[in-house]
Amino acid sequence: MVRLCFDPTIYIPDWKQHYQEMLEQVFNSLNMEKIVDVSVGTFHISQDYLKNMRKREPESAVICFPFQKDSFCVL
């Protein structure tokens, strides 16, 4: 049995096309009868961890992303 988890998805120009091509390559190279689950998810981070990242790495491109606040984490 195989579970595939593709996360975090990363926004780049033409990201849908890139991910579609990548998923097609993966699925074409695996025995589909062995796959029991597939997920594609976004980047999640706790607010406290993000605050610490911003203090430690103020020039990082990751912390400049316009995160969306959710009920339990920052997306």
Look at residue 70 in the predicted model and tell me its pLDDT.
Answer: 65
Tens digit of pLDDT for each residue in 33-55?
999 998 888 777 788 888 898 89
Look at residue 75 in the predicted model and tell me its pLDDT.
Answer: 47
Q: What mean pLDDT is predicted for residues 11-24?
A: 89
Look at residue 73 in the predicted model and tell me its pLDDT.
Answer: 45
Sign of CA dihedral 70, 8, 11, 47: positive
Look at residue 17 in the predicted model and tell me its pLDDT.
Answer: 92
The tokens 């975090």 sit on which residue? 8
58 preceded by cis ω (within 30°)?
no
Q: Of all residues in the chain, what percent carry a pLDDT higher than 90?
A: 25
